[in-house]
Amino acid sequence: MAPKPRVVVTRRLPEAVEARLAAAFDATLNPEDRPLPREELTRAMREADGVLVAVNDAVNAELLATPGRRVRIVSNFGVGVNNIDLAAAKAAGVAVGNTPGVLTDATADIALALILAATRRMSETEAILRAGGWDGFRPTGWLGMGLQGKTLGILGMGRIGAATARRAALGFGMRIAYFNRSPTGPFDFPAEALPTVEAVLAAADVVSLHVPGGGANRGLLSAGRIAGMKRGAYLVNTARGDIVDEAALAAALARGHLAGAGLDVYAEEPKVPEALLRLPNVTLLPHIGSATLETRTAMGMLAVDNLAAFFAGEEMPSRVA
């Protein structure tokens, strides 16, 4: 019997996923769930046939060029692959898989939660209550913005963007304006495609980001584009942190140009800019957009499906390089 392929897993995964990995492969798991130091990732590239990595594992050209590299597949636990140098992987003949589709609903739910938290000032008011600063009901206390009839601007009308828009349109009666680089739709809810990012930003009361990180999208929401948002608007980001100029966002929030924001992702995770941490009108989450047991298990199973198909010489269900 041929030996099982050796797979190194960089983070702890749901129990059912790890059980499958242990049965199918000679798997090195990470029960302590500690980020692997660079030297351990480098050793894995030399000693394993495949690696299952998380979105905070940088698989760059240098790592892919590890002398004596044995790894032939990188299976990414996540949809976004801006942590992986796809061009270098392709040049090196290393396959790359990701986990789209299975986290759509969970991430759209968090986007809606952040929209509500930002527009109804939930983080700010909870902090005041916990600190003992609530002195009772006041008719004009902590007024936020209702969603009914307001415009939600979606940048990136893929699976997650469309699922977020659908919830907002059908559940809250919001108007939907969106920009997508390629034609998309039709949808089972009213939505208007606008010709540019700037047009969406100018029209929207709330902007929700759903584009991939890295590449051409790095810095997509620049200082100039933030300045072009409607005064008093809100920004929500459940996509990737590097899409946003975080310093410009903090400045716009501090001076009142933007009323609030809800963020689940950051440019240099797990680092969160101090300027954002200091602001009361920002809801900050620790990258939990897909963090349900059901979703994270499905993501892990798809990551394993990619590995299993590759080693069996079959087409990977979700290959990006």
Q: Of 11, 175, 225, 287, which one is the catalytic site residue?
A: 287
Distance CA 88, CA 303 (A): 20
What is the token pair recorded at 240? Answer: 């990737």
| 240 labelled catalytic | yes
| 210 labelled catalytic | no
Taking a C-beta distance cutoff of 8 angstroms, is the pair 127, 282 a contact? no
Q: Of 240, 257, 278, 319, which one is the catalytic site residue?
A: 240
What is the token pair recorded at 39? Answer: 């030297």
Taking a C-beta distance cutoff of 8 angstroms, is the pair 76, 51 a contact? no
Distance CA 306, CA 81 (A): 15
**What is the number of alpha carbons within 13 Å of residue 279 lying toward its C-beta?**
27
Q: Checking DSSP bridges between strand 192-193 and strand 175-179, what pairing results, if any? A: parallel
Q: Based on the number of CB atoms within 10 Å of its own CB, is 310 exposed (0-12), middle (13-18) or buried (19 or more)?
A: buried
Taking a C-beta distance cutoff of 8 angstroms, is the pair 89, 76 a contact? no
Q: Based on the number of CB atoms within 10 Å of its own CB, is 166 exposed (0-12), middle (13-18) or buried (19 or more)?
A: middle
| 198 labelled catalytic | no
Q: Of 40, 47, 198, 269, which one is the catalytic site residue?
A: 269
What is the token pair recorded at 42? Answer: 């480098």
Angle at 15 between CA 266 and CA 305, to 5 degrees: 80
Provide DSSP, 27-54. Answer: EE--TT-PPPPHHHHHHHHHH-SEEEEE
DSSP H or E run through 106: helix 104-119
What DSSP character marks residue 283?
A: E
Q: Which residues are catalytic?
A: 240, 269, 287
